[in-house]
Amino acid sequence: MLMRIGVISDTHGLLRPEAERCLAGVSHILHAGDIGAPEVLERLCRIAPVTAIRGNVDVGSWARRYPETETVRLGARCFYLLHDLKTLAIDPAATGVNVVISGHSHRVQVNTINGVLFLNPGSAGPRRFKLPITLATLDLDEGDLRPTIHELDA
């Protein structure tokens, strides 16, 4: 059975209506940090259950309840969330992680290394430099992981 996961990062307090439309119908949302404001997560929770971590801009009492890393099992897959991939301190393949979700760089990354999918959905918040506004969906099937990057400002 197909399960679609929404993957978003670096909203920096801005949840665009295009992002909400793109995530409509997903089973779960993973937010890889730099949330920026609790209202972003409140609105995402109206779409689907959310697992979120804290990024470097997430400060203040509201942000303290979110960990810096999180491991979550969705379907038959194990996801590891962290904000900055440069701080990865585990060996995902050795620990049974199937997907590493990160943010921070504002740049899309989709790589498979040692059987582990590394996915950075880019930034869905305010535009930085000339980088595109993006998020990802990830379709989980029996044996497949199919990531799709969505440009919100195309």
Q: What is the model's pLDDT at position 154?
A: 58
- pLDDT for res 116: 97
pTM to 2 decimal places? 0.97
Cα angle value 80/112/126 (rounded, 5°) = 65
Given a cut of 70, the residues of the chain with pLDDT beneath it are 154
Q: Which domains does the chain have, with CATH numbers?
A: 3-151 (3.60.21.10)
Give me the pLDDT at residue 66, please: 97
